[in-house]
Each structure stands twice: as C-alpha cells, then as structure tokens.
Amino acid sequence: MEMDKYKEEKQKENVLIDLITKIALIAIATREIAETYFRINFWIDKIKEKPEKEAKSSFLIPEKTKLTFKNIIGFKETKSELKSALEWPLKYKELMENYDIEPINGICLFGPPGCGKTHFVRCAAGEFNVNLYLASPSTIGSMWYGQTEKRIRKLFNEARRNSPSIIAIDEADKLLPKSSGSSVQPRVISEFLQNMDGLLTEKSQTIVILLTNEPWKLNEAIIRRGRVDRIIYVPPPDYETRVLLFKYYMSKVMHNIDENVSFKELGNLTEASQKGYYSSAAIREICRTAKEEAFKNTLSSINKVKISMEHFQIALLKVPPDISTESISKYNEWKMTYASYMLP
Ligand SMILES: Nc1ncnc2c1ncn2[C@@H]1O[C@H](COP(=O)(O)OP(=O)(O)OP(=O)(O)O)[C@@H](O)[C@H]1O
Ligand SMILES: [Mg+2]
C-alpha cells in the first residue's frame, strides 16, 4: 500500500518535471523564433536600403539638350502656348516678383501618344537653357516600401539645387493617379504635392511638367491652380504640320525623291477620317516605309529607284491612323472642363 502511494507520488513528480521541461523548451524555441524573426527583419531592412545606395539614378542626372523650339516642326499654337507658359518664370523671375506676380508652378501637357509631348519638353528645356530632369513611373517608382517617396524628395531637391530647371514626369497619371484604395499611392501623392507646394513657397525657379495620355486618370488634388497652372493640349498634327513633318522626315533624301511626290497631297491623304487620326510618330513611320519600299525596288532592279508617290501609297496602306476618333473626343471634352479655366 505504502509502495503504491510512493509510486503514485513519483509518477506525479515525473509528469510535473516533464511539463516544466516542455514549457522551458517552448520558451527557448519561442525566443529562438523571435530572435530569428528580428534577424530576418534586420536583413530585410538592409536589403530595402540597398537600392538607395546604388549608382546615381538616371532621373537625378539632368539632360542638357541642344534642341530648341526651332526643332519643333509645325504645332504653331501648342508651341506658342508652351513658350508663353515657361518664358515668364524661367526668364523674368525677378521682374515678376517686382510686380508680385506668382510664378507658374506646374504645367500639364496632355494628348494622344506619339504626337510630341516628350519632344516638346526637351525642346523647351534647350530653348531656355535649363536643366531637364525627366522621370517616369518606371525610373522613379520602386517596389520597395517608402522608396518612391524618397526618390521624389531626392528629385525635387536635386532640381531645386540646380535651378533653373524643369522636372518632367512622363506618364504622370500612373505615378499620381486618382485614389484607388492602395495604401502606397496616397503617400506618394502627398509627398509629391508637398514638394510642389514647397517650390512655390521657396519661389524656386523649378517648374514641374506633367505629361500624360490619360489626363482624366490624374489625381484631382494636383490639377488645381497653384500646382498645375497651365493645361496644354498636344493634339494630332493638323494639315499644315503634317505637310511640314513629311518634308522634315524626307529632308535627307530630297535628291532621291520622284517629281510626282506632293507633300501637300500627302497632307491631304493623312487627313483624319472615320478610321482615326495620324500621330507625328505615324507620319514618321509612313516616311520610313516609303523609303524602304523604294529601296526594295532598287534591290530588284538595275537602276536606282526614286521614292515616288506609289511608294507612299503602299506606306499609307501599311500604316493606318493610330489615334481613334473616340479618344480625340475624350481629349476635347477634358480640355473643355479643365484647360479653359486655366488660360492666363
Ligand atoms: N513637332 C515635331 N517635330 C519634330 N519631331 C516630332 C514632332 N512631334 C513629334 N516628333 C517626333 O515624333 C516622335 C514621337 O514624339 P514623342 O515621343 O515626343 O511623343 P509623345 O507625345 O511623348 O508620345 P507618348 O505619349 O507615347 O510618350 C519622336 O520621335 C519625336 O521626336
Ligand atoms: Mg512621351
């Protein structure tokens, strides 16, 4: 009886020891897990910082271009709108201050793809001899937490330091879109807005130009006076511009052009129709295709074949209008709502 009691006591003791050992093991394991967790986090943070330490990002290196407004073929109206928007703040800053005129902080250049938005910005930077910082969501955006905001700050600081300057944001609607519910986007937008507002309070000679093919997707907070003060439409080339663009893209082969080529006729043949509108890039493509067609003919004949209207006809069949009529209506509608009250 005594023996049974002793055994029972011993068993209880063993169970207790077993339990304590297990608890101790769990505690050690938990600590290990916690330490490993913190160690992992430490390395994650290190990795996160890494992209920042990489070579100076391309968007922080200003472009110096020799292009000027002379390199913008046609587009008389757009060119003069852009010129007048930039001339005052970039050329007459002090004089403007004398008259207590607030400088322009930002401009939005919108319009269909391939019509010349990026080209115009380069020409404007060259015309006023200012540093151009060209950034896009792919160069400034980062998958790393908080990096996009950091890069935005760096970009503005660099541009301010090297003013007079232009910060051009390509595909601005993708970097600064209307709210989508994502937790990252509001911080990026708020960082951008703060920096833009900073330019105004500091009276910095840095101008932001937003470039977009889909202006209706831009965050509303940015499209307001004090931030974006001018909205400029870059439309598909009109008749006069198309004629000039054809002449420009064929200028190097004038000696090789058949007498039957009429640039005015080409301007008419590329008039907008139900099929759509031709962009500047499409006009360049038509010229390239016509040159290739003539070259192909030359390879299969004894004599050199001149570039003729027939080659342009083939090119026109191969290169259809690349801008839909619906999209042009959308641009005009947006222009009516925003651009009209932004006029000086
Ligand atoms: N008026 C012009 N004079 C000379 N070249 C032009 C003109 N307009 C456009 N181009 C040329 O047409 C091509 C397309 O222009 P650009 O890339 O500037 O268009 P974009 O509006 O910025 O297009 P996207 O919206 O796709 O970025 C470029 O090679 C550019 O040099
Ligand atoms: Mg562009």
Q: Are residues 153 and 107 in the same domain?
A: yes
User: What pLDDT is attached to residue 47?
Assistant: 56
Cβ–ligand 1 distance for 73 under 6 Å, the answer: yes
Ligand 1 in contact with 117 (CB < 6 A)?
yes
Quote the pLDDT of residue 181: 63
In this predicted model, what pLDDT tens digit does every residue of 37-69 receive, in sequence order?
766 665 665 555 555 454 567 778 888 888 999
Q: Decide which of 17, 33, 54 is a domain's last residue.
A: 54
Instruction: Give 159 Cα–ligand 2 centroid separation in angstroms.
Output: 20
User: Which CATH number belongs to the domain containing residue 112 in this structure?
Assistant: 3.40.50.300
DSSP 140-166: H--SSTTHHHHHHHHHHHHHHHT-SEE
Over residues 232-291, the pLDDT tens digits come to 999 999 999 999 999 999 999 999 999 999 999 999 999 999 999 999 999 999 999 999
Q: Are 318 and 276 within 8 A, CB to CB?
A: no
How far apart, in Å, are the Cα atoms of 246 and each of 79, 241, 258, 267, 278? 19, 9, 14, 8, 12
pLDDT, tens digit, 9 for 90 and up, residues 122-179: 999 999 999 999 999 888 877 677 788 889 999 999 999 998 999 999 999 999 998 7
Our answer on whether the CB atom of 215 is closer than 6 Å to any ligand 1 atom is: no
Write down the residue that tokens 């000086």 correspond to.
344
For residues 28 and 93, membership in a common domain is answered with: no
Our CA dihedral for 61, 62, 64, 68, rounded to 10 degrees, sits at 140
User: 327 in ligand 1 pocket by Cβ < 6 Å?
Assistant: no
Q: What is the pLDDT of residues 7-37, one digit of tens each?
A: 888 888 888 888 888 887 887 777 777 677 7
Per-residue exposure over 201-233, b if at least 16 CB sit within 10 Å of its own CB, e if not:
eeebbbbbbbbbbbbeebbeebbeeebbbbbbb
139 and 275 in a single domain? The answer is: no
In terms of domains, do 100 and 174 share one? yes
Q: Judge if the beta carbon of residue 67 lies within 6 A of ligand 1.
A: no
Domain of 246, CATH number, reads: 1.10.8.60
Domain that holds residue 21: 1-54
Burial 262-279 (b: 16+ CB within 10 A, else e): ebeebbebbeeeeebbbb
The answer on 160 and 106 residing in a single domain is yes
- In 3-state terms, what secondary structure has residue 299? helix
Q: Are residues 306 and 164 in the same domain?
A: no
214, 302: one domain: no
Are 150 and 212 found together in one domain?
A: yes
Q: Ligand 1: which residue has its CA nearest to atom 9?
A: 116
Question: Do the Cβ atoms of 106 and 208 come closer than 8 Å?
Answer: yes
Query: Whose alpha carbon is nearest atom 23 of ligand 1?
Result: 114
Nearest CA to ligand 1 atom 29: 281
Contact 276, 322 (CB under 8 A): yes
- Cα(263)–Cα(246) distance, integer angstroms: 6
The number of distinct structural domains making up the chain is 3
Q: Domain boundary residue among 31, 54, 77?
A: 54
Please, are residues 328 and 236 in contact by the beta-carbon 8 Å criterion? yes
Tens digits of residue pLDDT in 175-193: 999 877 665 678 889 999 9
Residues 160 and 275 in one domain: no
Q: Give all strands (DSSP E) within the chain, no chain letters.
A: 106-110, 131-135, 165-169, 206-212, 230-233
Q: Do both 39 and 183 map to the same domain?
A: no
> Tokens representing 316?
């026109």
pLDDT of residue 159: 94
Ligand 1 pocket, residue 297 CB under 6 Å: no
Q: Whose CA is nearest to atom 18 of ligand 1?
A: 116
- Domain end, chosen from 13, 29, 54, is at 54
Tell me how far the alpha carbon of residue 274 lies from the centroid of ligand 1, in angstroms: 23
Residue 199's pLDDT band (boundaries 50, 70, 90)?
confident
Considering the domain architecture, whether residues 180 and 140 belong to the same structural domain is answered as yes
One domain for residues 204 and 229: yes
Q: How distant, in Å, are the alpha carbons of 128, 227, 256 from that of 93? A: 13, 17, 49
Q: Is residue 314 in contact with ligand 1, taking CB distance under 6 Å?
A: no
Q: Say if residues 192 and 176 touch (Cβ distance below 8 Å).
A: yes
